[in-house]
Structure formats: C-alpha cells, structure tokens
Amino acid sequence: MNSKSLEDIMELLNEKSENVTNKLEEIKHLDSSNLKMNYQNVGTLVSINDNLNIINDKLEDIRLELLNLQNQNTLTFEQKMDLREFKFQNILKNTFYPYILYLKLCTEID
C-alpha cells in the first residue's frame, strides 16, 4: 500500500465531492412526481443528510488543525477568530471532559 500525501487525499476527496454534486444535479432534473415518500426513501434521505453533516464537521476539524499549524501572521481575521475558538474549546474539553465522564459514571453506578 502506497502512502499518499495530504494533497493526494484532498484531491481524491474533491473528486468524490464532484461526483456527489453531479449526482445531486442529475437527481434534481429527474421527474420525482411519482416518488413515494415512504419509510425507506425518507430514511435514505435522512441518512444522506446525516452523513453530509458528519463529513462537513470532520472537514472543519481538519481545517482547524491545519490553521493551528499555519504562521499566525498569514491568517485572516476570521481564521484567527476560528482558531481562537478552536483552542478555547480544546482547553475546555481537556480540562472538564474527564470530570464530566467521571460524574456520568458515578451517576450510572447508583
């Protein structure tokens, strides 16, 4: 198995994203008047929506990690604010998350 660079991985993700966009465009132009909104079709749409939300969140995580590695002087104001919020959330998570887990465990044991 060959290792891939981040650029290679991002290019592959971009290609997949373009395929999804093309399929969405094709679906929008098809006649959907006879499509029944039954449990299976609604479930499929909900699953697609949930997965796209997860993808968006994970991409944002990568973006913030990469921002954290950049030279601070090259960042825009908005990027600096995003990075500041990211760092604050990490401090908060690292400080309080163990206590929250401990509290949850204690309440579940009783």
pLDDT digit string, tens, across residues 24-46: 999 999 999 898 999 999 999 99
Please report whether residue 53 resides in a domain.
Answer: yes
Please report whether residue 23 resides in a domain.
Answer: no
Please report whether residue 66 resides in a domain.
Answer: yes
pLDDT tens string 72-108: 899 999 999 999 999 999 999 999 999 999 998 888 8
Task: Give the CA distances from residue 17 to residues 46, 55, 56, in Å, rounded to whole numbers and listed in that order.
Answer: 18, 11, 11
Q: How many domains does the chain have?
A: 1
Asked whether the predicted pLDDT for residue 110 surpasses 70, the reply is no
Please report whether residue 61 resides in a domain.
Answer: yes
Count of all residues that appear for the chain in the document: 110
What is the extent of the structural domain holding 63? 33-109
Task: Write down the pLDDT at residue 21.
Answer: 94
Its pTM stands at 0.71
What span, in angstroms and rounded, lies between the C-alpha atoms of 105 and 83? 32
Residues 6+ apart with CB under 8 A from 4: 12
Please report whether residue 70 resides in a domain.
Answer: yes
Please report whether residue 41 resides in a domain.
Answer: yes
Task: Write down the pLDDT at residue 4.
Answer: 83
> How does the average pLDDT of the chain come out, rounded?
91
What span, in angstroms and rounded, lies between the C-alpha atoms of 51 and 45? 10
